[in-house]
């Protein structure tokens, strides 16, 4: 006799859809893009409902089923699929947003202008102070001292990551247009004449 085989998805029940919002919630949990609060709001149910469902084995199995489906789809299509790319952009954007929110709650930035936006970062600045010799001291020598201070600044690199992700998503969705200024010869303004006959206007 042959060895025991692993149960199929149909045998362990994970391929059977759950009723109503429960199935949609399992799909959204598998996507791992929205928080439980956002999923609950999207489906018009309470967050506590999601919490309770996550403790049910049938729901856990269904989430795992959808994750396997997603993983297989991504493996087969990868970033060649536009929706997969957009989903990846959304996920990375969400991770950046988590960092921004965490920064906005940093007590060090509470009294810093713009600190509550989460777009400000702490930077260590080192200043070198030079001191000339005391002219009244024959043995005086020049000296220097390094002073370290913390200062805040807008995190332009962080902002750029947001902009690049948003631009890439817009481009993939066909929502991005480049503005170009057309000029004539030698950069002169381009003049377009409409509706003029060779013998001049009548």
Instruction: Evaluate whether residue 191 is within a structural domain.
Output: no
Instruction: Evaluate whether residue 190 is within a structural domain.
Output: no
Q: How far apart are the first and last CA of the chain?
A: 100
pLDDT, tens digit (0-9, with 9 covering 90-100), for 173-200:
777 766 666 666 666 666 555 555 555 5
Instruction: Evaluate whether residue 32 is within a structural domain.
Output: yes
Instruction: Evaluate whether residue 55 is within a structural domain.
Output: yes
188 or 112: which leads in pLDDT = 112
Cβ contact 130:139 at 8 Å: no
Q: What is the structure's pLDDT at 22?
A: 92
Instruction: Evaluate whether residue 126 is within a structural domain.
Output: no
Instruction: Evaluate whether residue 183 is within a structural domain.
Output: no
Indicate the number of domains in the chain.
1
What domain range includes position 40? 7-78
Taking residue 47's Cβ as centre, other Cβ atoms within 10 Å add up to: 14
Q: What is the structure's pLDDT at 126?
A: 83
Q: Check which CATH number belongs to the domain holding 14 and give it.
A: 1.10.10
- Would you state the torsion angle of the CA atoms of residues 152, 156, 158, 159, taken in this order, to the nearest 10 degrees? 120
Instruction: Evaluate whether residue 193 is within a structural domain.
Output: no
């Amino acid at each position: 006799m042959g060895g025991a085989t692993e149960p199929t998805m149909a045998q362990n029940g994970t391929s059977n859809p759950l009723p109503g919002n429960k199935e949609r919630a399992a799909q959204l949990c598998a996507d791992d893009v929205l928080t439980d609060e956002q999923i609950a709001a999207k489906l018009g149910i309470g967050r506590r409902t999601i919490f309770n469902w996550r403790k049910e084995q049938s729901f856990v199995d269904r989430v795992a089923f959808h994750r396997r489906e997603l993983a297989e789809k991504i493996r087969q299509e990868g970033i060649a699929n536009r929706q997969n790319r957009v989903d990846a952009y959304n996920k990375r954007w969400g991770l950046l947003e988590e960092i921004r929110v965490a920064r906005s709650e940093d007590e060090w930035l509470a009294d810093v202008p713009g600190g509550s936006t989460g777009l400000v970062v702490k930077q260590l600045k080192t200043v070198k102070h030079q001191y000339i010799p005391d002219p009244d001291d024959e043995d005086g020598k020049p000296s220097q001292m390094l002073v370290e201070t913390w200062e805040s600044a807008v995190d332009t690199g962080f902002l750029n990551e947001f902009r690049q992700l948003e631009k890439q998503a817009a481009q993939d969705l066909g929502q991005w247009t480049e503005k170009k200024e057309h000029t004539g010869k030698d950069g002169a303004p381009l003049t377009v004449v409409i509706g003029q006959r060779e013998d001049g206007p009548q």
